[in-house]
Amino acid sequence: MVTAALKEDLPGAGREISIEAVSHRFDLEGAPLPVLDDVSFTIEPGSFVALLGPSGCGKSTLLRLIAGLDHPASGAIRVDGAQVGAPDPSRILVFQDPTLFPWRTVRANVALGLEAQGTLKTEGHRIDAAINLVGLQGFDKAYPHQLSGGMAQRVALARALVNQPNVLLLDEPLGKLDSLTRLAMQTELVRLWQQSGLTAVLVTHDVEEALYLAQRVIVFGPRPAQVVADLTVDLPYPRHRGHPRIAELRHEALRHLGLEASW
Amino acid sequence: MASIELPLEAGRAPAPVQGWTLLAALPWFAAVAVLLLVPDLTYQPLGRELALIWGAVGGVLTLLGLFGNRLGRVGRWSALRGPWLFAIGAASVLWTVVTAKTGWLPQPFFPTPQAMLEVFLYDYGKILHSAAFSIWLLAKGFFFGAIAGFLIGVGMGWSRAVSYWATPLLRYIGPLPATAWLPLAFFIFPSSGSASVFLIAFSTAFPVAVLTWSGIAAVNRDYYEIARTLGASPLFLIVKVAIPSALPHVFVGLFMGLSTSFAVLVVAEMLGVEAGLGWYLQWAQGWAAYANMYAALFVMAAMCSGLITLLFRIRDRVLVWQKGVVRW
Ligand SMILES: Nc1ncnc2c1ncn2[C@@H]1O[C@H](COP(=O)(O)OP(=O)(O)O)[C@@H](O)[C@H]1O
Ligand SMILES: [Mg+2]
């Protein structure tokens, strides 16, 4: 019932994202720093894709481009055929830090998107549904400093989901959590994705996490990032971390990352 | 002495009596005794009335000491303030002795307690009226100054153009003490009252503007990006992201502005405004009425600390989310 409130009138749920020959560079003290080098791939609507690569290779940059926070130096990014322009609540980015607004309660943080879009009056009922969805009922009056890291990240997820995004961009959202919370949240991410039907793009540098969560893992090389492998994780959910196929794929992913020796 | 314990160590079952409060009654009774039994050097008015008041304080303290732990709020207050109540009583004894009884402190520069009572009894109307006038003048100036400073600060924090024009002006004119403008302001403005309001506003606006500006400059960039992906308009970014995030800085500016505005207020009242506590002080000096000056200073201190406390209360309410983030 909770999810029904979030799912109702989801217009077309997940969307297709196509990255077309995208290159990007930053200006670092006058010298150009190439970050993405001719990256192309397409993400199926409603799928869960993980972007895996060494730290600093340009994964976050690509996610920001999809969100519309930056624009690619060359190439194009299309969502359902339309070129990405300004940021839009249909594509929401969840950062590694929950970055909740400390002056707002949990409830007011979750309400942020509806407030910004001016739909608080008509869509306010979704706030409770979103808070329940991430299992934080009873905490709506708490302030961010009263939450643990895992709870804060759940609030960040609820703040995104309440807007019924078609695309959820996750930038190492579990990167700072302790390992137990991390495992629990991974299972929950899968549940949230399955229930909402949106397209999920997860950036991670954790091979296990990518293979446990995603249907497809795109592996990038060192900066400037290029796609070095595109692995399909052909396992049904719920998955088991010890599954031999996952071990196999991990070997392959590590090989593409040049870490074969550590397998 | 062993039975007397500092009431600060709470948590245990309440003692049957408040030791410190009982002890505090003693100097007040002593003060009555000194006042009535030792002859005054020169004639002093109202000796018996003052003895009555001090005796009443001693009596109330005795009762509070005996029954205070069963009295709720008042009792808790006296339990906490026992040592202070004792000290004030002791100070009253000392004051009576060194002024009225021995003259170790020369008259009339150090008025006797009786003379102070006389001022409060016969001049309280004028003092209260002056205080009310001062507060009203300050409130007007502070209000306009805070709003102007806030808007300037937000504008500078948000817009390059505003910052380009306002920063040098603020740098150059801001640090000038507002009182330096007094002679000119009295000349330009139609009344000394409006001139004072302007100067108080001026002295408040500077720190509020600078701190609002720095508060807005310090807002975490990620807040803006998060709000933008959630569909925020530029107005939303200012009103719901930048300003709330900068509010702790704004309050620091308000505290600084309020403190400097006190100085401007008093000087303005002394130099041109024909009312208010500053003017009362000046007037009392003209008549060499030292007791009146002390009375005015006493009320002025109460006014200033009361206004600061009020601002603290407002901040505690507005920034309730900060509790637990920072130590106050
Ligand atoms: N705004 C920026 N200006 C300059 N350099 C940047 C900027 N953002 C990222 N970079 C650089 O781009 C590279 C890729 O960054 P990022 O996309 O954050 O990597 P990651 O794959 O770890 O998420 C890094 O070397 C980083 O220093
Ligand atoms: Mg990153």
For chain B, 328 residues long, the average pLDDT of each consecutive 10-residue run is 49 74 93 92 89 94 88 85 93 94 87 92 91 94 96 93 92 88 88 90 94 94 93 94 95 94 91 87 89 92 94 92 68
Whether residue B267 lies inside any domain: the answer is yes
Domain stop point among B77, B103, B129: B103
- Spell out which residues of chain A touch residue B231, defining contact as CB-CB under 8 Å: 87-89, 113, 116-117, 163
Q: Identify which of B62, B72, B74, B60 has the alpha carbon closest to the alpha carbon of residue B18.
A: B62
B294/B284 Cα distance (integer angstroms) = 10
Residue-wise pLDDT tens digits, A77-92 = 999 988 998 899 999 9
CB B79 within 8 A of CB B7: yes
Do B154 and B49 lie in one domain? The reply is no
The model's pLDDT over A228-254, given as tens digits with 9 standing for 90+, comes to: 999 999 999 888 888 999 999 999 999
Q: What is the pLDDT of residue A242?
A: 87
Q: Please check whether residue B2 lies inside any domain of the structure.
A: no
Which range marks the domain in which residue B172 is found? 114-322
Distance CA B268, CA A215 (A): 75
Please tell me whether residues B16 and B70 are part of one structural domain: yes
**Residue B197 and residue B97 in one domain:** no
In a domain, B108, yes or no: no
| Substitution site in A35, A62, A204, A220 for ligand 1 pocket (most atoms within 8 Å of beta carbon) | A35
Q: Nearest 10 degrees: CA dihedral of B214, B216, B217, B219?
A: 120
Q: What is the pLDDT of residues A90-147, one digit of tens each?
A: 999 999 899 999 999 999 999 999 999 999 899 889 999 889 888 888 999 999 999 9
Above pLDDT 90, what percent of chain A? 55
Ligand in nearest proximity to the CA of A221 = 1
Residues in chain A with CB shorter than 8 Å from the CB of B227 are: 112, 116
Residues B243 and B132 in one domain: yes
**Domain termination site, one of B56, B83, B103:** B103
What is the number of domains present in chain B?
2
Query: Domains in chain A, ordered, with CATH?
Result: 2-101+168-262 (3.40.50.300)
Whether residues B230 and A159 touch (CB distance < 8 A) is answered with yes
Ligand closest to CA A171: 2
Residue B1 is assigned to a structural domain of this protein: no
Identify whether residues B12 and B160 lie together within a single domain: no
CA distance linking residue B238 with residue B126, whole number of Å: 47
Q: Are B261 and B136 within one domain?
A: yes
Instruction: Please report the DSSP string for B60-85 in residue order.
Output: HHHHHHHHGGGSTHHHHHHHHHHHHH
Per-residue pLDDT of A187-234, as tens digits, reads 988 988 988 889 999 999 889 999 999 999 999 988 888 899 999 999
Asked whether residue A261 carries a pLDDT value surpassing 80, the answer given is: no
Domain contains B109: no
Q: What percent of chain A has pLDDT over 70?
A: 94
> How many H helices and E strands in chain B?
12, 0
Same domain (yes/no): B85, B214: no
* pLDDT value of position B8: 52
pLDDT value, residue A30 = 86
- Confidence band (pLDDT; 50, 70, 90) for A262? low
What is the distance between the alpha carbons of residues A184 and A114, in angstroms, rounded to a whole number? Answer: 28
- Whether B298 is in a domain gets the answer yes
ipTM rounded to 2 decimals: 0.88
Give the domain CATH number at B223. 1.10.3720.10
**Whether residue B96 sits in one domain with residue B67:** yes
The last residue of a domain, from among B103, B133, B149: B103
Same domain, residue pair B52 and B81: yes
Sign of the torsion angle spanned by Cα atoms B112, B113, B119, B122: negative
Residue range A141-161: mean pLDDT, rounded: 91
B121 and B232 share one domain: yes
Instruction: Identify whether B64 is part of a domain.
Output: yes
Q: Taking CA A56 as the corner, what is the angle to CA A53 and CA A57, rounded to the nearest 5 degrees?
A: 50
Task: List C-alpha distances in Å: A76 to A72, A165, A198.
Answer: 7, 21, 22
Q: Is the CB of B228 less than 8 angstroms away from the CB of A115?
A: no
What tens digit of pLDDT does each residue of B241-259 get? 999 999 999 999 999 999 9
Mean pLDDT of chain A: 88
Bridge partners (DSSP) of residue A203 are A51, A171
E strands of A5-58, at which residues? 17-28, 31-43, 48-52
The string of pLDDT tens digits covering residues B193-228 is: 899 999 999 999 999 999 999 999 999 999 999 999
User: Kindly report the CA angle at B162 between B157 and B166, in degrees rounded to 5?
Assistant: 95
pTM for the full predicted model: 0.84
* Chain A to chain B Cβ contacts (< 8 Å): 69
CA–CA gap between residue A48 and residue B244 (Å, rounded): 36
User: Are B31 and B171 within one domain?
Assistant: no
Which residues in chain B are contacts of A112 at CB distance < 8 A? 226-227, 230
- Residue B197 has a CB neighbour count (10 Å cut-off) of 26
Pair A91, B229: CB distance under 8 Å: yes
The answer to whether position B86 is within a domain reads yes
Q: Is any Cβ of chain B less than 8 angstroms from the Cβ of A141? A: no
Q: Are B170 and B302 part of one and the same domain?
A: yes
